[in-house]
Amino acid sequence: MPQLRVPTRRERRREATYDEIVKVSAELLAEDADLSLRAVASRMGMTAPALYRYVASAQELVDLVAFELDKGATEDFRAAAERHPEDDPAARVTAAAVAFRHWALSRPREFHLVFHNPISAGESERRELLTLSTSGHFFTDLLWQIWEQTRFPFPSLDELAPAVRDAVLDPLIPAKSEHIPPEDRGLLWVYMRCWSSLYGVVTLECTGHCDPRVIESAALFKATLIDELPRLGLAGQRDRLVKILDEELSRHAT
């Protein structure tokens, strides 16, 4: 049996420094302070040039922190989902979606850093980093589990627009797709549409670009999730899932 490689002291020290960079960056965001290489280095008791040995640019700092914040937030989404049985992915994704909304509303700068971090067409390495997004894999895995139960319909490749067909056959989104046969990749289009609904409504709420009474009541958020139920073959479970949705929202009521 092969032995596990033990990290060297230098590797452990470097990993600890990365952890501290993320921790300090999260503190700056929570304090509504400037997130910059100079600000992070100052709080860590380092010079900016010394920090360059770990992150080479402001964009690299943002990408590192965004990836780690997303990973940490996903653990909260997972904990919310696990309040419901493993064989009930519809209840789990409902709870996780509410946890995602609560995270965004309570930590808007973290949400902005993770999800409003533009990637241009030529930045292939940063695009590849996006496909590793922990939350993306978590939510699409739950949707896959729902499909295994309900077998909701999805478009064939011939029914998709050429650009969409290319996107589902060679996906640049954070979703496990290797287990989906190419001819069934229309399922990824359902993933994208469901995510755009959840992300869209939460972004409107988080940025305040929505009537504050609607945000306070979660009415638009609820309606958006309910509208997705038929797409996922869950129309017959509407009453049960709305009850779960209300219960999950009440956990975060002020």
Alpha-carbon distance of 165 to 171, in angstroms, equals: 10
Q: Are 226 and 238 contacting, i.e. CB atoms less than 8 angstroms apart?
A: yes
Kindly tell me if the per-residue pLDDT of 124 is higher than 70.
no
Mean pLDDT of the region 197-213: 93
Query: Of the segments 45-49, 119-123, 129-133, which one has the largest average pLDDT value?
Result: 45-49
Q: Check residue 84 and give its pLDDT.
A: 97
Of 10-19, 87-96, 214-223, minimum mean pLDDT range: 10-19
pLDDT digits (tens, 9 = 90+) for 44-82: 998 888 888 888 888 888 888 888 888 899 999 999 999
Closest CA to 234 of 97, 65, 100, 101: 97
Kindly tell me if the per-residue pLDDT of 125 is higher than 70.
no
**Residues, the chain:** 254
**Which spans in 34-133 are helix H?**
37-44, 48-51, 58-81, 89-106, 108-115, 124-130
Q: Are 192 and 173 contacting, i.e. CB atoms less than 8 angstroms apart?
A: yes
pTM, two decimals, is: 0.87
CA dihedral (33, 35, 37, 40) in degrees, to 10, reads 50
pLDDT digits (tens, 9 = 90+) for 17-26: 888 988 998 8
Residue bearing the bigger pLDDT, 116 or 197: 197
Q: Check residue 132 and give its pLDDT.
A: 57
Give Cβ neighbours of residue 217 (< 8 Å, ≥ 6 apart): none
Token pair for residue 18? Answer: 């990365």
CA angle 122/167/152 to nearest 5° reads: 150
Residue bearing the bigger pLDDT, 119 or 201: 201
Q: Is 218 left (phi over 0), alpha (psi -120 to 50) or beta?
A: left
CA angle 63/69/75 to nearest 5° reads: 140
Token pair for residue 72? Answer: 């940490």
Mean pLDDT of the region 8-35: 86
Q: Check residue 228 and give its pLDDT.
A: 96
Kindly tell me if the per-residue pLDDT of 187 is higher than 70.
yes
Percent of the chain clearing pLDDT 70 (strictly above)? 90
